[in-house]
Amino acid sequence: MSKPSSSFTQPATEHPFAPYVRILGKGKTGSRSFDRQEAAAAFSMILRNEVEPLQLGAFLMLLRVKEETGEELAGFVDACRQQMAQPQASLKADLDWSSYAGKKHQHPWYLLAMLLLAADGHRVFVHGSDGHTVGRLYTEQAMTELGLPVAADWQQVASQLDTQGLSYLPLRAFCPRLHEMIQLRPLLGLRSPVNTLTRMLNPLAAPASVQSIFHPAYAALHQEADRLLGQPHALVLKGDSGEIEVKPQADTRLQLLRSEVSEEIVLPRSINHKIAPVAQPATAPLRALWRDEEDDAYGLHAVLATTAAALLVLQPEWDLARCQEHSRTLWANRDPARLG
């Protein structure tokens, strides 16, 4: 019987990426973490498509098992910022809003918080990716359904921020290789460090950023990476479904980094009973609440709390009470016609 054919050919020499896999995979006593420069060099090779698929899978899963460090994440972000499509130097944003999780249990109320902040004069830049987890409603689809500004490139981002104070650019438009790596989750069966580092990209170097995490232990990791990256003001919270949306039925720990000083503020719950998940996240309830066509206590509480949380980094001299008061004022003064 003949042996099965194989397309594999043993390389004559070691692949240039092999040393980076070896650093991670030499066992309990031989492996170690990357320093920032090594992490940047390794990830730059990945972004330039200079690694084999087998190497990429091994690299991501070894990192997942080891758990990435703040220095590694900072190096990965360095590489992404260098390799991505570059925005024009004049393009600026006040708030970087990362949105990569999609909504599963509740409607995407955080979109209304973005609208309030933009109406308050803040330039809110949103980036994200979709489609990597079945059954979720992602930001790009939701914003498109609501007629909110979704861009195809940096030029459109500039125009939308100038005219509307809000713009979403999908990751695939400015770092397609990174977008492809996020889509590996169904194949690998696990989230990888890519799901973490994308939240820290802040491609427009906005002085304030907000990030959501799935697990509370990741908050310190995000803060360490943000500090290494020189992020002036950053907020990390465990939001609903992994999106930046305060859950009003739970006390929320707001992990703040302001001028290199870490602080935790607890945002008390505003709803004291359990809230059932919706059958299917949708955008119609957002339009109805915004236009005063229907009441939704949960939605309103989520919008106000999320807006107040973001104001803590947009207005770092304000305390929580003032941010909460201002969020209520913004809601009272909103333009119902903004969502047609």
Name the pairing type of β-strands 261-267 and 252-258.
antiparallel
Residue 132 in this model has a pLDDT that exceeds 70: no
pLDDT tens, residue by residue, 33-90: 999 999 999 999 999 999 999 999 999 999 988 999 999 999 999 999 999 999 999 9
**Which residues, in sequence order, are CB contacts of 27 under 8 Å at separation 6+?**
none
C-alpha–C-alpha distance, residues 115 and 161, integer Å: 12
Residue found under tokens 């004022």:
329
Q: Are strands 166-170 and 124-128 parallel, antiparallel or unpaired?
A: parallel
- Give, to the nearest 10 degrees, the angle between helix 70-83 and helix 218-228: 50
Per-residue DSSP letter, 241: G
Picking from 95, 102, 147, 87, the residue whose alpha carbon sits closest to that of residue 118 is: 95
pLDDT digit string, tens, across residues 252-285: 999 999 988 999 999 999 999 999 999 999 999 9
Q: Quote the pTM value.
A: 0.94
Which residue type is seen at 99?
S
Query: What token pair was written down for 263?
Result: 């602080």
Angstrom distance (rounded) from CA 167 to CA 122: 11
| pLDDT tens string 187-221 | 887 778 898 999 999 999 999 999 999 887 889 99
Q: What is the mean pLDDT of residues 113-140?
A: 92
Q: What is the average per-residue pLDDT within 94-100?
A: 97
CB atoms under 10 Å from CB of 36, counted, come to: 20
| Mean pLDDT for the stretch of residues 177-194 | 86
